[in-house]
């Protein structure tokens, strides 16, 4: 192995945050971040309805998501980018429909899996990968946000753990139904993410680490976790 060659090869060219190319990709990535935060805000309110005992805590989470939404709006303004909201709504349609259906039928476990596990882990992974390559303004915003997302994940994790025996099949089912959607979503924005120097491979790995940790804390064995988290990954479209 040639040391110097390889260490430089691992680096990447500097990003031009003001370039047309960057801002074009940002208009979609920022939009899906905004849509994710907007839905998270609504989803925690829906969960507050379903779990009156936890309503106060859930309303607080919802308020945090609202602040995230505003923070990411200012990131777009800072780069003079108009987020492509239309794209983002289509992007989230599948997951959102599943959440709405679960909420309407009172399936709390599925709601928790979709919002507090899958969406939060997805956000944590994407934000962690984004931070080192973000523009300085967005970096500060994202660093603050990602800390909050960990607390949201913990909330869902704790609730599912407390009810593990009862909700285990529900978790497995929601996992099987929604994880393949996440892989498809990641595939759809792979090129835009790459423009922002966010590696899809790295996001998936970070997601799997976070998600796997959550599942094993909730009560699943390593074997279960490997089975559940690999669900649908191989079938996902690749670049």
Partner 1 sequence: MFGLIGHLTNLSHAQRVARDLGYDEYACQDLEFWCMAPPQAVDEITITSVTGQVIHGQYVESCFLPEMLAQGKFKTAMRKVLNAMALVQKRGIDITALGGFSSIIFENFSLEKLLNVRDITLDIRRFTTGNTHTAYILSQQVEQGAARYGIDLHRATVAVVGATGDIGSGVCRWLTRHSGPKELLLVARDYERLERLQQELGSGTILPVEEALSRADIVVWVASLNQGMAIDPATLRTPCLLIDGGYPKNMAGALQRPGVYVLDGGMVEHSLDIDWKIMSFLNVPNPARQFFACFAESMLLEFEGLHFNFSWGRNYITVEKMEQIGSLSRKHGFRPLLEISGAGSEPVIQ
Of 181 and 204, CB closest to partner 1:
204
Least separation in angstroms between CB 43 and partner 1: 24
**Which one, 84 or 149, has the nearer CB to partner 1?**
149
Q: Which residues bind partner 1 (CB under 8 A)?
A: 1, 3, 6-7, 9-10, 128, 150, 199, 201-202, 204-206, 208-209, 212, 222-223, 226-227, 229-231, 233-234, 238
Residue 54, annotated as binding a ligand: no
152 is in an annotated binding site: yes
* Token pair in block for residue 85: 């909201």
Residue 206 interacting entry, from Fe ion, partner 1, none, C-beta within 5 to 8 Å by type = partner 1
Is the four-CA dihedral 185, 187, 192, 194 of positive or negative sign? positive
Residue 65: which of partner 1, Fe ion, none does it interact with, CB under 5 to 8 A by kind? Fe ion
35 makes contact, choosing from Fe ion, partner 1, none, with CB < 5 to 8 Å by partner type, with none
- Alpha-carbon torsion, ordered 29, 33, 180, 184, to 10 deg: -10
For residue 177, give the 3-state DSSP assignment: helix
Rounded to a whole number, what is the distance in angstroms from the first to the last CA of the chain? 28
State the Cα–Cα distance between residues 67 and 40, nearest whole angstrom: 11
Q: Which does 208 bind (CB under 5 to 8 A by kind): Fe ion, partner 1, none?
A: partner 1
Tokens standing for residue 175: 């996992």
Q: Are 78 and 138 in contact (CB under 8 A)?
A: yes
Binding residues for Fe cation: 37, 65, 68, 120, 152
């Amino acid at each position: 192995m040639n040391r110097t060659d390889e260490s430089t090869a691992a680096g990447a060219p500097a990003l031009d945050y003001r370039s047309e190319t960057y801002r074009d990709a940002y208009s979609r990535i920022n939009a899906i971040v905004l849509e994710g935060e907007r839905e998270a805000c609504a989803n925690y309110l829906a969960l507050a309805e379903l779990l009156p005992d936890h309503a106060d805590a859930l309303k607080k989470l919802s308020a945090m998501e609202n602040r995230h939404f505003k923070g990411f709006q200012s990131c777009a303004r800072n780069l003079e980018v108009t987020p492509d909201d239309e794209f983002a709504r289509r992007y989230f349609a599948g997951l959102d429909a599943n959440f709405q259906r679960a909420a309407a039928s009172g399936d709390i476990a599925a709601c928790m899996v979709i919002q507090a596990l899958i969406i939060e882990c997805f956000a944590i992974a994407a934000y962690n990968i984004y931070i080192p390559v973000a523009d300085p303004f967005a970096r500060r915003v994202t660093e603050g946000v990602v800390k909050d997302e960990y607390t949201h994940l913990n909330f869902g994790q704790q609730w599912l753990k407390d009810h593990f025996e009862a909700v285990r099949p529900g978790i497995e089912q929601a996992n099987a139904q929604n994880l393949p959607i996440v892989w498809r979503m990641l595939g759809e924005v792979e090129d835009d993410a790459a423009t922002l120097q966010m590696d899809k491979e790295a996001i998936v790995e970070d997601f799997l680490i976070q998600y796997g940790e959550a599942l094993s804390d909730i009560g699943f064995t390593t074997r279960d976790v490997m089975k559940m988290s690999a669900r649908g990954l191989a079938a996902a479209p690749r670049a």
